[in-house]
Every structure is written in C-alpha cells, then in structure tokens.
Chains A and B, each alone.
Chain A
Amino acid sequence: MTRAEICVVACAEAWRGDGAILAGFAGLIPQLGARLAQRTFAPELLVTDGEATLLRNGEPEGWLPYRAVFAMVAAGTRHAMMGASQLDRFGNQNISCVGEWERPRSQLLCVRGAPGNTVNHPVSYWIPRHSPRVFVDRVDMVSGVGHDRNAYEIRRVVTDLAVLDFATPDRSMRLRSVHPGVRVDDVVEATGFPLTIPRDVPRTREPTDAERALIREQLDPAGRREREIR
C-alpha cells in the first residue's frame, strides 16, 4: 500500500453519499478517486472522460459537453474536487495568479470555474504537496470562495499528508485524519495558519483489498499515481 493509494481512497471518500451527481476533478488522483467511488460505494456518481463523454465502469454511457456542465453547475448537481495554489483557513482558494493581480509575480490559470463552482455546489480540494506555501493566511486572489464568503459547501481537503474538513462552529479548517506514517505535528508544521485539532486524530483509512486491486489492475495499471506525489 502506497501513500498515493491512500490519497486515491481519501479522494473517493469525498463523494460518498452524493448520489446521482456529476463528479468534477482536476488532476489524476482525484480522477482515480472519482472512478474508484463510482465502481464501489457510489455507483450512481456521474464521471466524465475529462472531455464530453460520461463513463460508467470505463464504458461510455452519455454525453456532457461544456455547456451541459455549466447547466449542472447552476443546478447544483455536481461536486468538484479542484486544485489550489493557495488555500486559507475558511477554504478561500486561489488558482489565478500569485502576487498583485494587476501585475502578478506568477500568472497561473485565471479563475476558471472556481467562482461558479463554489457558490453553486459542494467543492473539495486536492493538494499533492501540503506546505505553508499552499496553506496561507490570506490568498492573493479569491478564485474559489470560502465559508466566510458564502461558499455553498467546502467539504474536504485531501493532501499528501492528511484529510481536512470544516466541521467547526465557525466552519474554519479542521484536521480530520492523518495518513498512516504522518504525525499530527507534521501537518501543523506544513500548514501556514492555526488548525483545529481534535483530541484524538484518527488515521486515514487504508484501501480494502478490493479497492487496491481495482486501482492497481484496472484504474491505473501503469502506476501514474505514484508520480503525482513527490
């Protein structure tokens, strides 16, 4: 069992209980998570091939061009797991640029669909390298809105070290579990703002034998997942 496999399962868990909604994802590990969830405990989940085809257990089952994705965003029948260059304790996210917006030190993606996603439907985040550069006090450009700016729901943040959520009275970030082999202090050190830490922090669950077999033999036989975590 590898750290990447723990992360795939932790991403899949974000969609548990969602029913027949569209799983959006950016990045390989969330994609594997969505496909794993669909094949195991969330069979109703809708998953695309990254373009306009809906896939069920790897086979095409429907059509979803971008204009229909925007309709599902507006209808709220979607839960997307996005990336984040910066994330603050209320879940405000930045993928647009680093530095002053007027003349950024580093221009990134622009806001993409983050503003619309975060006010319309649940959003989670995948962070392949948990560090104080990502988990910042204040993001440079609010692309995805957080709970202090009326986000619909920021559900989970899955990183290479831990799973975080917002189950606190003021809906700020809380440590939900640490991955096997990671200490709570490792997470605290890698986070640039104070986290709520429960007295007993559980360990992130390990993949079942069936899940591990699905990941290794069907979803990602080439092991590309191992390169997403450095």
Chain B
Amino acid sequence: MDKLVGIEDPVAEVRDGMTLGIGGWGSRRKPMALVRALVRAGRRDLTLVSYGGPDVGILVAAGCVRRVVTGFVSLDSIPLEPHFRRARSAGTIQLTEYDEGMLYWGLLAAANRLPFLPIRAGLGSDVMRVNPGLRTIRSPYADGAELVAMPAIHLDVAFIHLNRADAQGNGRYLGPDPYFDDLFCLAAKRRFLTCERLETDLFSSGPPQTLLVNRSMVDGVTETPNGAHFTSCAPDHGRDETFQREYANTDWETFRARYLDGGESDYQQAVKR
C-alpha cells in the first residue's frame, strides 16, 4: 500500500498533449517541485487547468503549454504574471477563460461523474462569447430559469502539494485554506501528492477535518521539503517575496539557467543563499 515515489516519477506519467490539473491558488501552496520536474522533462502541448500562479507562468515560459484553462493567472503580491501576459500577447498559447466559480463547478462536476452542473456565473458576460462551446440550460421547474451548463473538467493527471502526508496517500493541509486540491484529485485519472513532511501516524497528529485527501484519491506521494517554494505554504513557510520579485523581473533564459537547469536539490541549494 506504500505509494512513495521519486520526484521524477509523477512527471513520467504526464505525456505530451495531456490535461494536467495543478492545485493551490495563485501564488499559494503550488506543487512547484513537480512543476520544476516537468520543465526538466521538457513536456510539450499540455493543457493546464489551474487557479493560475507561477506554475502557469513557468510552464508557459518553458514552452510546455498549448492551452491554459483558468479564471486568472496572478502572483498575488504581483497582480499580473509576466510570462502568461507575454505569451497571450504573442499568441503562443490558447486560453479557456472561465469565471473562478465556473472552474470550481467544472471540477465538482467531474468529481461527481456528472456531464455538467448548472451555475449562474457566466450569464451575460463575454465568457460565453470566448467559449462558443458553452451551452445554457433551462430549469424544468416552475421558475424556468436559464443557467450556464458548466461542463465537467476532466483531468488526465493532478498535482497537489500539502503540508503533511503519510506513505499511503492520506494528506493534511495546515494553512488557512484547503483551496480546491481535493477536487483536482477527484477530477483526475492519476493523482500525485507532494508534502512538506511525511508522517507515520498522520491521524493522531492533527484534527481530522484537516485531512483533505484520503488514499483512494492519491496514486503517488513524494516528500519535498520547501517544495512549494516560492509560493506560500503556511504555516511551514510564507511566500518568498524577494525571490518572486526576482522571478518576475528576470528574463526567462537567465532565470532558467540560474535555477531550473539542475535538479530539485540544486534548486533548493541555489535559493537558500
């Protein structure tokens, strides 16, 4: 029942052209060690589903991405993600732009094996114009309300990062917000969890309601201390704002050569100085 894998193993299951869901939110608790491993592996033509932050920016800059499915891409303390912006203006990536709540609803539909879920968000907005495949549905009840039929967002693979996990794939968040990491796992065929620290007796080490994912939702577990760097992973570590500014202000080739061309341990060594 042990699901421990190395950092390169989840990436080996992501093939060119697949749809990859990435947990976290903006520049918060992103599985950045797995993102870096994807860059090293040189994947191509991925569709990313994400509440986008530097995960999207890095994979776009590295040329791994064909399409981004999102409600926003932001570094939080730096509102606009520079690599995502550049790629959009250069026309080098495609975008499926949804309301944030629609993204949630699409993952929830997939998690529940439903073809769609009705939602008000999107009605009247240009989300309908830029997603010509989106359909509305009319309530069969007396209200007759017209709603957006948000289609299920199915994922080939999901990557998430949590504070604690055990070797079987149970996982706990300790920060203020679970984000939507459980839904990313439930919407995906293959699910990989990285954690700040592995524990043997996970259940006893914290309140049960912080156990966000159970082992039926996870296929592989990797311990990656500081693995969300430079995004926040409260309470283990905050966002590395200095490093994030360097990321946003450094041209991609320089940044890549300085930090991403080696392995994860080289990265962690380089960011420690």
Residues of A within 8 A of B (CB): 51-53, 63, 65-67, 70, 73-74, 96-97, 101-116, 118-120, 141-145, 149-151
Contacts and interface: CB of A to CB of B under 8 A. Distances in A.
B176 A150 contact: no
Contact of A109 (B72, B98, B180): B72
Given A74-B101, A141-B130, 14 more contacts: A63-B176, A101-B97, A106-B85, A109-B74, A111-B126, A113-B101, A115-B102, A116-B102, A118-B125, A142-B126, A142-B129, A143-B125, A144-B125, A149-B124
Given A70-B101, A113-B99, A116-B101, A103 B121 contact: no
A80 to B, nearest CB: 12
A67 B178 contact: yes
Contacts of A150: 123-124
B94 to A, nearest CB: 10
B170 interface: no
Given A73-B101, A113-B101, A119 B120 contact: yes
Contacts of A65: 176-179
Most chain-A Cβ atoms within 10 A of its Cβ — which of B71, B79, B101, B123? Answer: B101
A82 B102 CA distance: 18
B25 A66 contact: yes
A114 B72 CA distance: 11
Interface of B: 25, 70-74, 79-80, 84-85, 88-91, 95, 97-102, 104, 119-127, 129-130, 176-180
Contacts of B80: 107-109
Nearest to A146: B124
Nearest to B70: A110
Nearest to B175: A52
17 contacts: A51-B177, A65-B176, A66-B177, A101-B130, A106-B85, A107-B85, A109-B74, A110-B70, A110-B72, A110-B95, A110-B97, A113-B99, A115-B99, A115-B123, A119-B123, A145-B124, A150-B124
A116 B88 CA distance: 24
Given A67-B104, A116-B102, A116-B120, A145 B125 contact: yes
A120 B121 contact: yes
A114 B99 contact: yes
A142 B124 contact: yes
Contact of A111 (B79, B85, B98): B98
Contact of B124 (A106, A108, A119): A119
A47 to B, nearest CB: 15
Nearest to B98: A111
B4 to A, nearest CB: 29
B124 A151 contact: yes
Nearest to B92: A103
B71 A103 contact: no
Contacts of A113: 71, 99-101, 121
A111 B89 contact: no
Contacts of A118: 124-125
B127 A115 contact: yes
Contacts of B124: 115, 118-119, 142, 145, 149-151
Contacts of A63: 176
Contact of B89 (A70, A103, A116, A143): A103
B82 to A, nearest CB: 10
A107 B99 contact: no
B79 A67 contact: no
Nearest to B51: A66
Given A74-B120, A120-B120, A110 B126 contact: no
B100 A105 contact: no
